[in-house]
Amino acid sequence: MTTLFIADLHLQTEEPAITAGFLRFLAGEARRADALYILGDLFEAWIGDDDPNPLHREMAAAIKAVVDSGVPCFFLHGNRDFLLGKRFARESGMTLLPQEKVLELDGRRVLIMHGDTLCTDDAGYQAFRARVHQPWLQRLFLALPLVIRRRIAARMRAGSKAANGSKSLAMMDVNPQTVTAEMERHRVQWLIHGHTHRPAVHELTANGQPARRVVLGAWHSEGSVVRVTPDGVELVHFPF
């Protein structure tokens, strides 16, 4: 049994090499897996399922082909594509998951999430997140013409880049107490997430026992995947 996890591909028309790498991954390793979990930020920015961007149609078809080949694909939202909705899920065959989910893999409980909610030292981001996760604001945004939504998203991206320039690296990483608290609340010894773009396998203590936090890498110049098998977990990088 092999379960695959990926995150932070940030797919966009302007980065065709990443798209090509993802398509190769879907046609290759993903087909031999038992399940594929995408832990958010699959897309650079998502402004609604009604965006006619041809890249979205192409990605939906490629993911659907994996699902149709017998490999279930699951998606949980990142901070860039939290508006990805039921329509795209249906088109791609992916199952939408809540923002935190505990999986039972080979008798082991594994917590998965995007990872942004662990960055609790970043008060500015958490306030921003709380605001844009309000259902009424999302409904309002999604009712706007696409051209306006695109402009707002670009403003947000610019604001985010400017804000990040003045934040310390430590502030933009996960808060260790929040990590332990989440793992204890869910009674897990393994946590897999993305978002920070700092791929690593961290050993820690949770629930009074050895625990592990696996951080996926972003797909900038190479692919990043976590494989969970009965033998354990491995974080692997591969060229596009």
Q: Write out the binding residues for ligand LP5, residues 18-77 only, by CB under 6 A.
A: 45-47
231 has binding-site annotation: no
CB count within 10 Å of CB 224 equals 22
Query: Among the candidate windows 22-30, 54-62, 161-169, 229-237, which touches ligand LP5 by CB under 6 A?
Result: 161-169
Strand order in the sheet with 35-38: 95-96, 73-75, 35-38, 3-6, 222-229, 232-239
Nearer residue to Mn ion within complex by CB, 74 or 81? 81
Nearer residue to ligand LP5 within complex by CB, 141 or 240? 141
The residue count for binding Mn ion (CB under 5 A) is 4
Work out what residue 156 binds among Mn ion, ligand LP5, none; the CB cut-off runs from 5 to 8 Å by kind.
Answer: ligand LP5
| From candidates 3, 19, 79, 92, binder to ligand LP5 by CB under 6 A | 79
The count of C-alpha atoms lying within 13 angstroms of the C-alpha of 96, restricted to the half-sphere facing its C-beta, is 14
73 burial level (CB within 10 Å; 0-12, 13-18, 19+): buried
Which residues touch 25 (CB under 8 Å, ≥6 apart)?
6, 223, 225, 238
| From candidates 60, 103, 119, 218, binder to ligand LP5 by CB under 6 A | 119
Question: For 93-222, where are the alpha helices, taking DSSP H only?
Answer: 123-132, 135-143, 146-165, 176-185
Tally helices (H) and strands (E) across the chain. Answer: 7, 11
- What is the number of the residue whose Cβ is closest to ligand LP5? 159
CB count within 10 Å of CB 45 equals 18
Residue 167 binds ligand LP5 (CB under 6 A) = yes
Nearer residue to ligand LP5 within complex by CB, 23 or 156? 156
Report the nearest approach of ligand LP5 to the CB of residue 161 (Å).
6
139 burial level (CB within 10 Å; 0-12, 13-18, 19+): exposed
Residue 144 binds ligand LP5 (CB under 6 A) = no
Residues forming contacts to Mn ion in the complex (CB under 5 A) are 41, 78-79, 195
For ligand LP5, the binding residues (CB under 6 A) are 45-47, 79-80, 83, 116, 119, 122, 124-125, 128, 132, 137-138, 141, 152-153, 155-157, 159-161, 163-164, 167, 172
